[in-house]
Structure 1
Amino acid sequence: MQKIISKFFILVFIFFCSCENKTIRDQEGLIVYQENQISWIRNFEPLNPVSICRWPTRGGIYESLFLNNPITTEWVPWLATKYEWQNNNKKLLFTIRSGVKWSDGKPFNAHDVAYTFNLWKQFPALDSRNAWEYLKDVVAISDTIVEVDFKRVYVPGFEAIAGAYIVPKHIWSELEDPLTFDNPNPVGTGPFTEILRFNSQVWELGKNHNYWQPGKPHIEKLIFPTFSSNEQTTLALLSGKLDWAGAFIPAIQRIFVDKDPEHHHYWFRNTGYSTFLHTNTKDPVLKDSNVRKAISYAINREQVVKVGMYDYTTPAHVTSLAGPMSKWHSPEIVEKENWTVYNLDKANKLLDDAGYKWKNKKERINANGSPLKFDIIVVSGWSDWVRSAQVISQNLKKVGIKATVRTYDFGAWIVRMQQGDFQMAIGWADKGDTPYNFFKGMMYSEYVKPIGETADINWHRFGIKEADVLIKEFEQTSDTKKMKNIIYRLQHLFIENAPGIPLFAELSWAECNSKYFTNFPSAENPYGPLSPNDQPGFVFALLNIKKR
């Protein structure tokens, strides 16, 4: 199978090269692939979770007070220069950077910061992570000082506040309804803010000439053609018509690197977490944890990794924590049920015990006689996920479940995920410097939205009180030993309840063609992540890539 795929890529590339016209590419602009789209929609709204804004709106146009570097795990001072906890960790002061301007030339100051957070309070739909559940007040006490008061001790509060994207008060305060605003002409503090052209097939984003970091960015503009599939992206990288991408490429050494070892590079970094088969726990069948475990037992992850992921990664750990996050594994994990192993006998027994009988030797049925069947939704063009879903579909046949793979463009897929309009889906989960964000995203009751309402996280709609208690305990301690013990207990709850099904260790796809631009991050020069999918860590690359 892998040889056939590789030969197909090579044949298509030869055909592509023989047929392509000889148009000269724009060498002043860095050509980027991050979004899988067949047509562009002009949207640069950074706050609304319903808004499917163009990359790099969050991070590249609108910035945060501090910027997290996922390689070093350091929070780098950005729109703020420092912070200080006061009042027994119930007050947080930020010193705002002086001399920063919005891209329209107006001064940026602490009042923009306070306004942004109070906008969340005024319009709760923007407060996708329930920040005002623990916030008491956010005020600008001068042009350079923001005071954040908490209702209770909330140790992760720094990350939540420091990583938020700040919008200009002088623009947003004039809006009648920020929930319907698509912000077609953005005004930001980031390195790229100027829309040079925009049509359905290509758009260009120019540098911010008022940018506060002297001499940066080094490149004049970013160019975004539409790419509808990983295959199309690969061909563009090979032909020199794409400089930077975050795509899955099979046999990347042979297909991509070996064609031009001097300029063709990649870095598939292990994020420490897993890619998931999300199961909608509001579904009348999938709400049963034993059914979810049965599905997991029926998945041959070794086969998924080999066929779907081209052996780049490894089968998921039952906690979903992988690579650099493995240090958080509970020492009691070996005593817990491991429903990520391939075991058809256990899968069948769980389904039998749940009352799903065999109609014949080919399918199981519900109590009402209807077949046990589900749709698995994936993003069209994401060939790794599509093939993985196809393997899972074949696996589930062996236990009498009919799973149909359905593909949607990214915009339609993310809307379905956020609104809970799916049964099963391949997707990602929340991440962070500790597993706190991940377990909160998977099991926190206050994140659970009714079907039809937009959920920025917890797409699978699962929460339990035991996890809520542990999460709030974690939020009130800075004691490392206590934090670890709480994470251990959250792992045990995750294993007991199987709120989602981890498939394989998540890698951050990243490729570059350095023929026209240089100084991309790499494993040898890890000043930041290479992948444009690393949100918002990609900003370190945007600021340091240079024209040859």
Structure 2
Amino acid sequence: TFKFNPFVGTGPYKLHSYDPSGFWTIWEKRADWDKSPTGIMFGEPKPRYIIFQYFANEGAKILAQLTHQADVVNVSSDGLKAVLAQCDSCRAYQLNWPYVVNNDPAQTGITFNTARAPYDNREVRWALLLAIDIAEYMGMAVDGTGALSPVHIPSLSNYPDDFIKPMLPWLAEFTLDLGNGETFKPFDPNASQRVVEYAKSRGYEVPEDPEQQARLFGYGWYKYAPDVAEKLLIKNGFSRDSSGKWLLPDGTPWKIRCLTGTQLATGMGERNCVAVVEQWKKFGIDAEVYSSEATANLNAVGDFDVSSNWPAQEPWGAGPDLYRVLNHWKSEFVKPLGEVTSGHPSRWSSPEMDAVIEKLQNTDPTDYQATVDVGIEGLKIAVREMPGIPTFGYVGFIAWDQTYWTNWPGAENPYTQPYTHWGPFKYMTPFLQPTGAR
């Protein structure tokens, strides 16, 4: 029913042809490319044709690149190692370990649906966090290559100096009430070191300088404390059956489905679900990965228990102003289950966070420190309530085959973002250099 087929666009390429089943599209450079924004700003795109192709599995992707039929592929950590080990003409974003794209200002993790019991209970959410061994988790998710963040923004750029490091004393004193007069301080400043030890055990050359390690692995996370998680759950009416499996307060088996997309081998969201499900299963919860092409729609209407949706809106490099992060938790955005939410899919909000958001709206954005201070207020609320679990900053495993094209935007020459699945990919095309190989 769409009237414009092929559609009208202003980019330097036009749709040439496509597979009706959706497995590939071919784009052709327009004759009037010089009238496009890309042409005006950066000059003529070098490739005449660009093909986007779907591969059924990672093995097919890797084989296509090894046979020089795919110039760019997004793969898993193991997939990248397989490509680099077998392809002399291939490279990653970084020329040496950890190889990954690690400058993406987005924090991955797990989102709770706080409009559904028992995930409406902050102590249950904290129990599920404390049931995670983050070193094992990181090994399973990204082979230990991401930077941990204990708060709901990534550990890169200005964020560690402005927010994470100043919050460390507060995080160290943050306390959970376990009942019966018992308390617990969950923050672990040495959590990142456990990921360092994992990386070393894999034979990776990890820098020994503590500050370099912190930049690569983060500035701490939370303790692996399944015994404390158990106390929190028992405090809230949960119990175990005779086989050690967890039961809900009503006595029925506790089953968790982690909603995620379909790229279980390569997607950062998917890898979070795969890792957390294994951790919760080890803890005694009947957990499973729920992979769906409809993930975005199911998140939007609240049809999930927990999901691999980012636990907070990405700051996307917006300097010291965390308005983009915090504003998605505004109460007025929350909609009933079944309706598309205007805010964060967790459907969590609080009057206290509303007040912080309003305060940030009224803070002079040119007052750098005041803007940071209000952001820290909001992050403290998010940590205390934990509507989603922040794990590691987004990392990308990209392999480029340089048989036909060179000058990809690697870490040593990051003239644009490196992904072909983002809109700015078109701004990469004028800088690619053909090798002349046939």
Shorter-chain TM-score bucket reads: 0.7 to 0.9
CA-to-aligned-CA distance 1:108-159 (integer Å, 9 cap, x gap): xxxxxxxxxxxxxxxxxxxxxxxxxxxxxxxxxxxxxxxxxxxxxxxxxxxx
Distance 1:387 1:488, change over 3 A: closer
Could you tell me whether the CA contact under 8 Å between 1:191 and 1:543 is conserved in 2? no
1:368 equivalenced with 2:265 (yes/no) = no
Of residues 297, 305, 310 in structure 1, which corresponds to 2:138?
305
1:538 equivalenced with 2:425 (yes/no) = yes
- C-alpha displacement at 1:269, in angstroms? 2.1
Could you tell me whether the CA contact under 8 Å between 1:273 and 1:431 is conserved in 2? yes
Could you tell me whether the CA contact under 8 Å between 1:218 and 1:546 is conserved in 2? yes
Q: 1:473 corresponds to which residue? A: 359
Could you tell me whether the CA contact under 8 Å between 1:376 and 1:405 is conserved in 2? yes
Q: 1:513 corresponds to which residue? A: 401
Distance 1:382 1:262, change over 3 A: same
Q: 1:356 corresponds to which residue? A: 238
Distance 1:463 1:231, change over 3 A: farther
1:547 equivalenced with 2:434 (yes/no) = yes
- 1:136-151 to structure 2, matched below 5 A, reads none
Matched letter for residue 321 of structure 1: P
The TM-score with structure 1 as length reference comes to 0.61
1:321 equivalenced with 2:142 (yes/no) = no
Could you tell me whether the CA contact under 8 Å between 1:430 and 1:457 is conserved in 2? no
Q: 1:202 corresponds to which residue? A: 24
Of residues 394, 407, 414 in structure 2, which corresponds to 1:526?
414
Q: How many residues align?
A: 365
Give the whole-Å Cα distance in 1 for the aligned partners of 2:407 and 2:65: 17
CA-to-aligned-CA distance 1:69-106 (integer Å, 9 cap, x gap): xxxxxxxxxxxxxxxxxxxxxxxxxxxxxxxxxxxxxx
The alignment's C-alpha RMSD in Å is 2.6
Give the whole-Å Cα distance in 1 for the aligned partners of 2:416 and 2:316: 15
Could you tell me whether the CA contact under 8 Å between 1:207 and 1:221 is conserved in 2? yes
Gaps of 5+ in 2: 95-99, 175-185, 188-221
- RCO higher in structure (CA 8 A, sep ≥6): 2
Give the whole-Å Cα distance in 1 for the aligned partners of 2:351 and 2:290: 34
Distance 1:195 1:451, change over 3 A: farther
Q: 2:385 corresponds to which residue? A: 497
- 1:393-432 to structure 2, matched below 5 A, reads 393-409=277-293, 412-428=294-310, 429-432=313-316
Could you tell me whether the CA contact under 8 Å between 1:419 and 1:454 is conserved in 2? yes
Could you tell me whether the CA contact under 8 Å between 2:239 and 2:251 is conserved in 1? no
Q: In structure 1, the residue corresponding to 2:258 is in which secondary structure?
A: strand
- C-alpha displacement at 1:537, in angstroms? 3.9
Distance 1:185 1:304, change over 3 A: same
Give the whole-Å Cα distance in 2 for the aligned partners of 1:396 and 1:362: 13
Matched letter for residue 202 of structure 1: W
Q: Displaced runs of 4+ in structure 1, greater than 4 A?
A: 180-183, 384-388
Give the whole-Å Cα distance in 2 for the aligned partners of 1:318 and 1:459: 18
Give the whole-Å Cα distance in 1 for the aligned partners of 2:340 and 2:431: 36
Give the whole-Å Cα distance in 1 for the aligned partners of 2:424 and 2:162: 23
Give the whole-Å Cα distance in 1 for the aligned partners of 2:353 and 2:430: 40
- 1:124-273 to structure 2, matched below 5 A, reads 181=2, 184-200=5-21, 201-210=23-32, 211-212=35-36, 213-214=39-40, 215-250=43-78, 252-253=80-81, 255-267=82-94, 268-270=100-102, 271-273=104-106
Could you tell me whether the CA contact under 8 Å between 2:106 and 2:316 is conserved in 1? no
Q: 2:214 corresponds to which residue? A: none
Distance 1:287 1:194, change over 3 A: same
Distance 1:366 1:274, change over 3 A: same
- C-alpha displacement at 1:310, in angstroms? 1.6
Q: In structure 2, the residue corresponding to 1:323 is in which secondary structure?
A: coil
Matched letter for residue 276 of structure 1: G
- C-alpha displacement at 1:442, in angstroms? 5.1
